[in-house]
Structure formats: structure tokens, C-alpha cells
Structure 1
Amino acid sequence: MSNNNHNNNNNKSNDNNDSNSSRSILTSIQNTMNNNNNTVQEIKPDDPDPVAGFAAGVARFLAKKGIAGTLSGIVEETAIYPIDLVKTRVQVHPNPNVGFMSMMKEVYKAEGFKGMFRGLSSPLVASAMVSAIQFSTFEKSNQELEEHRLFKDSPETLRYFVAGGSAGILQSFIICPVDVIKSRMQISGHGHSGSTVDMAKSIYRANGLKGFYTGFSATLLRDVPGLGIYFSTYESLKHVFNVHGHHDLSGGGFIKVLLAGGLAGSVYNASTHCFDIAKTLIQTQTTEPKYKGTFDCLNQVVQKQGVKGLFKGFVPTVIRAIPSHGIALFVYELTQAI
């Protein structure tokens, strides 16, 4: 009898264990299913995609900077184009003593007011594109460098210089073909009746696509350090003048922006003038190339014209940079405030 009771107790114990095990397994399965349901809820398609959100934010940022840069480029190019045309003709003139004003009078007498804007259409469109890329690239590069604290132990000026240089690299690829067409249109004079498209076709027939990148190394040498200097000077002067972009344009703030932009532009043009001369001389070669490269060009200029040959058109170039870049940066800051 006792053995039977003992066996019955063992059977009940086993049943209880089995029941507990079953409940444990069911509980485990239920927990797993709940976890899976939570996971499914977490990745449901209605939730915002963080990658898409980031991309949209970047797109909005670049669009705003790009629009501001586009308007800035159009205003600047239109305002200074006649001066730029005369500057180009002074730079390519064989006489190192030719004056800026005498060349301007010569152009106006021979070609009239219309001649002062010869070849404007191509650089006008390109300037809008280039300015959009220039400003948006600088702003985004500067933002990324600041967020990742890559220059946390260095002066802010260095960060601005690197961000500006990044914009200069990208700009060079776009501006070089435009400069080739523009420079050749500018020196063609009233004897050339063709359009910008005709000039582009002529360059392509003669040299193919590489013809549009004549003088590319000189363009890089001008624009990479040049834009680094340009933006670092502008941002530094804004700090000196206690101006924080488009937020401080009221009152006397706009005058400070004009002044900071003008001074930054003049420093940029002054520091890269010799490379601009080399670029122009190389790009306006229409016969057999005389120059092996940028520094060979500069060397030949010094041999034939002396050191002063490197500074042809220097004064008007630096002077015209003050209003042109001042207006350009003011329009850029103003557009962002709208």
C-alpha cells in the first residue's frame, strides 16, 4: 500500500513538473512572439527613415545656399563684366605699358557699348552655377569640419581656408571650360561675329574635349588657395566687425558685409593675380602652344617683360574686386535672410 502511495506521489510530482515545463515553454514562446511584434512595430514603414531625413536635410541646406549663390553670381558677373573684358585684353597685350583706361577707350571706340559685353552669355550662366556650387560647397565643408572637430585645436581661420580650398577644387572643373570660351571671345574683337556656341564648336573641332581644359593647372593654382584665402578672410573680417551673416544686415550691418566682402575679394585677387595672368595667356593661345605649363608661362613673361609683366592689370583688378565681391557677398547674405 505504501509503495502504491509512493508511486502515486511520484506520478503527481512528474505531472506537476511536466505542467510547469509546459507553462514555462508557453511563456517563453509568448515572450518571443511579443518581442517579434515589438520589432515589427519598430520598423513599420510609417516610421520616418533616418537616412532619408538626413538626405532631405542636406538637400534643403544645399538648395538654400545654392539659390543665394546663384543670385550672387548673376549680379556680380553682370556688374563687373566690362572691367573683366578690358582686363583680359590688357593681360594678353604684348606691350607691358598698356594702360587700363586707354584700353577701355580703345574697346569702346572700336566696338561701342555692346562690345563691352562681348561673350557675356556663357560666363553669366556659368557664374550662376559656379557661385551656387562655390558657396554651398564651402558652407557644407565648413559645417562638416566643425561638427567632426577636425581642427578643434587650430584657429578657425584654418578651417575656413580648408573649406574654401575644397570649393576651389570643385569650382575649377566647371569654370575652366567657361574661361577658355570667355577669354577667346573677349580678345576676338569686333571682327569676330560668331556666337558663344560657335566659339565652343571651334575649340572642340581643334582640340576636342581637352581643349576646354586648356590652362587647368593655372586655374587650380588660382582657385584652390585663392578661395581658401577669400573665405577665411571674409569670415575673419565678419568676426572683427562683429557681423554674423544675414542675421545682422539691419542698421549698419550691411555696410560691414559690403566692406568685409570687398576686402576679402581684393586680397583674393591680389594674391592670385600672377596665376590669373598665366591662365589667360595659356587659354588664349590659338596657334601652336608657346607655353609648356603654368610656371614656364610665368618664366617667359618675366624674361620678355620683366617682373612688372606679372602685374599687368593688377591695380584695376584689385580695385574692381572691392565692389564686385562686396555686392556678391551682400546679395548672398541678403538672399539667405529672405
Structure 2
Amino acid sequence: MGADNDLCNAAKEYVSGFTAGLATVITGHPFDTVKVNLQAHNTKGEVKKYKSAWHCATRILANEGINGLYKGALSSFIGVTFESSIAFGVYSQMKQLLQTGETQSGSPQLQVIIPSAAFGGTLISFILCPSELVKCRMQVPGTDHPTGPLDCALKTIKDEGIKGIFRGGFTTFLRESIGNAVFFSTYEYTRHYMHRKLNSTSPSISHHKKQLIDVGVGIFSGGFAGIAFWSIVLPLDVAKTIIQTSPSKILISRNPFYSLSMIYKRVGLRGCYAGLGPTLLRAFPTNAAAVVAWEFSAKLLGLRHIEQVDDDQKN
């Protein structure tokens, strides 16, 4: 019975992560389309195709309508939902596995958070790499004009082989393993600090008010964690976009550090942070939505680890 219960709880963790992925794509894909176009077109020389994120978005809307902002969304739904399912599920399970009696008091422990998050990031990089390659090539005009995600994937495999669909894999691995460690560390510490402060100022609150507070804490801790994630790994994401959308098949062009050094020589540091505006604009609402959806669905499914942390902080 104990094994069946553990298996059921594990499945619930992954379902909760899946709902976080749905919230992420619905909220953030238009921002991502703008970011990818800025990265692909504003890193090639001194003359920028788009003056700003707003200019890029309005050009896309004028030329393609609202559908233009959701190009590649199907690929994102497939990739991001399963990515979130694995990232949140693996993180929650590994964190509980690594915790000892001394680290279950609710206080964040970096020695538990970082390996749990980095391992989840490593696993999801294998899903995200082909998914994002298809998404980026569909988002950027002029990349062989595929008619759909499947057509794009098949053309890539035909032209470059199976390895082609995993172009940018090493860069994706670096971005996700480092970024997830930053994300969950920021989330856990922000959430812990906010609950501790709120509980000290309002030790006795109604159940309804507690639910509203939980949503508010989820919004802020998730949004702040998303900003921390992208502030650290955006240069790697820029390199990944260049690698995945470049027509070049030369192996050195797949080296993220070589790509970043070339971007820096051409357009300076700003090139390494191309798409920063829409990325940070997207980071807060999408990650806030993801964390709130994750926490809410976890509680709805009866997973107790989130509530347990809050209860421990009151004692």
C-alpha cells in the first residue's frame, strides 16, 4: 500500500507540473516570439532590423496578425507542458528524497535545492532542445518556411540527420541546469521569507484570507524567480537561438561560447542580451502563473508538502 501511495503521489506531482506548463505557454508565447525574432535578427550587425520589442511586436501583428505571435505555439505546448511536468515533478521528488530530518523544518537548504533543480533541468533539456529548435525555426521568417511543426522537424532530419534535431543541445543543457538551480533557489527563499514575515505580522488569519495570501506569495515568488532565471541565462539562450536558426552546418557554429564571442565582437554586450526587454516582461507573469498553477493543483490533488512547509513556519 505504501508503494502504491508513493506512486500515486509521484503521478500527482507530474500532473501539477503539467498544469504549470499550460499556464506558461498561454501566458508567455507571444513574448517568446518577439524575443526569438530580436535574437535572430538584431545580432547580425550594427544595423538592427527591429528598433525595440514593441516595434518587433507591431511588425509581426501588422504582417501576420495575432496568429503571428503564436507561431510555433503547438510545439511549445508539447515541449513546455512535458518539460514543466518533469521539471516540477523531478524537483519535488528529489527534494523530498534528499531531505533529512534536520532539513524538513521548512527552511530552504541549498544543498538540497540545487542538485534537485539542476538534475531536473538536465533531464528536460533533452525534451526542450528539439521542441525549441522547431519553435524557433517557425517563429523566425526565412528559416525555410515550414508549413507546420512536423514539416519543420522532418525537413531538419532530412537535411541534417537525427543530430540536426538536437542542434543546440549542449547550450540547452547549460541553460536549463544552471537556470533551474537559480529559479528554484530564488523561489524557495523568496517564498520562505514572505511567509515568515506574513505569519509574524498576522499569526491568526481566516482560511479564505490564507488562500489569497498563498496566491499572492505564489505570484511574487514565481515571478521574481523567473526574472532571476532569465537574468542569469539569457546570453546562453541568445547563443541557442543563433545556433538553432543558423543555416550553417559547421560544428564550431554550435559552440555557445564561440557564438557569444562572435556576437560580442559584432555588436557588443547588448547583443548577448538581445531580447532582454520582452524576456523580462514575459518572465514575471508567465512564471507567476506557472507557480500559482503548480501550487494550486498540488493542493487540489492532496499533496501535502506545500501546506506542511507553511504550517512548520508558523510553529
Please tell me the TM-score bracket, short chain as reference.
Answer: 0.7 to 0.9
1:90-123: per-residue Cα shift (whole Å, max 9, x none)? 0011356531111111111111111111111111
* Structure 1 stretch displaced more, 142-151 or 177-186: 142-151
Structure with more relative contact order (C-alpha pairs < 8 Å, separation 6 or more): 2
2:163 is aligned, of 187, 210, 216, to: 210
Cα deviation for residue 151 of structure 1 reads 11
Match of residue 317 from structure 1: 279
| Counterparts in 2 of 1:303 and 1:185: CA distance versus 1, 3 Å | same
Does the 8 Å contact 1:133/1:171 carry over to 2? yes
| Counterparts in 2 of 1:332 and 1:149: CA distance versus 1, 3 Å | same
Provide the aligned C-alpha RMSD in A.
2.6
2:269 is aligned, of 276, 289, 307, to: 307
1:166-192: per-residue Cα shift (whole Å, max 9, x none)? 110101111111011111011036993
Match of residue 205 from structure 2: none
Does the 8 Å contact 1:111/1:190 carry over to 2? no
CA–CA separation in structure 2 for the residues paired with 1:242 and 1:54: 31
| Counterparts in 2 of 1:189 and 1:335: CA distance versus 1, 3 Å | farther
- Superposed structure 1 runs of 4+ greater than 4 Å apart: 148-152
2:226 corresponds to which letter in structure 1?
Answer: G
Pair 1:123-2:84 in alignment: no
| Counterparts in 2 of 1:151 and 1:207: CA distance versus 1, 3 Å | farther
1:15-94 to 2 correspondences below 5 Å: 53-93=1-41, 94=44
| Counterparts in 2 of 1:287 and 1:92: CA distance versus 1, 3 Å | same
CA–CA separation in structure 2 for the residues paired with 1:330 and 1:202: 38
2:230 corresponds to which letter in structure 1?
Answer: N
CA radius of gyration, larger in? 1
TM-score (normalizing by structure 1): 0.78
| Counterparts in 2 of 1:92 and 1:190: CA distance versus 1, 3 Å | closer
Match of residue 112 from structure 2: 159
1:326 is aligned, of 288, 296, 300, to: 288
Cα deviation for residue 318 of structure 1 reads 1.5
Does the 8 Å contact 1:172/1:219 carry over to 2? yes
Does the 8 Å contact 1:115/1:190 carry over to 2? no
Cα deviation for residue 248 of structure 1 reads 8.7
Does the 8 Å contact 2:167/2:254 carry over to 1? no
Does the 8 Å contact 1:157/1:232 carry over to 2? yes
Pair 1:186-2:147 in alignment: no
1:95-174 to 2 correspondences below 5 Å: 95=45, 97=48, 98=50, 99-147=52-100, 156-174=109-127
How many residue pairs match? The answer is: 284
1:213-246: per-residue Cα shift (whole Å, max 9, x none)? 10111111111011011011101111101179xx
Pair 1:195-2:145 in alignment: no
Unaligned runs of 5+ in 1: 1-52
CA–CA separation in structure 2 for the residues paired with 1:77 and 1:297: 28
Aligned to 2:147, the other structure's residue is in SS state: coil
Pair 1:260-2:213 in alignment: no
2:74 corresponds to which letter in structure 1?
Answer: S
Unaligned runs of 5+ in 2: 199-207, 301-315
CA–CA separation in structure 2 for the residues paired with 1:322 and 1:167: 21
| Counterparts in 2 of 1:238 and 1:195: CA distance versus 1, 3 Å | same
Cα deviation for residue 55 of structure 1 reads 3.8
Match of residue 17 from structure 1: none
2:57 corresponds to which letter in structure 1?
Answer: M
Does the 8 Å contact 1:87/1:313 carry over to 2? yes
Match of residue 237 from structure 1: 190
2:179 is aligned, of 226, 234, 245, to: 226
Does the 8 Å contact 1:119/1:196 carry over to 2? yes
1:25-65: per-residue Cα shift (whole Å, max 9, x none)? xxxxxxxxxxxxxxxxxxxxxxxxxxxx4542332122111
CA–CA separation in structure 1 for the residues paired with 2:39 and 2:143: 18
CA–CA separation in structure 2 for the residues paired with 1:79 and 1:208: 33
1:273 corresponds to which letter in structure 2?
Answer: L
Aligned to 1:241, the other structure's residue is in SS state: helix
* Structure 1 stretch displaced more, 95-104 or 114-123: 95-104
Percent identical among aligned pairs is 27
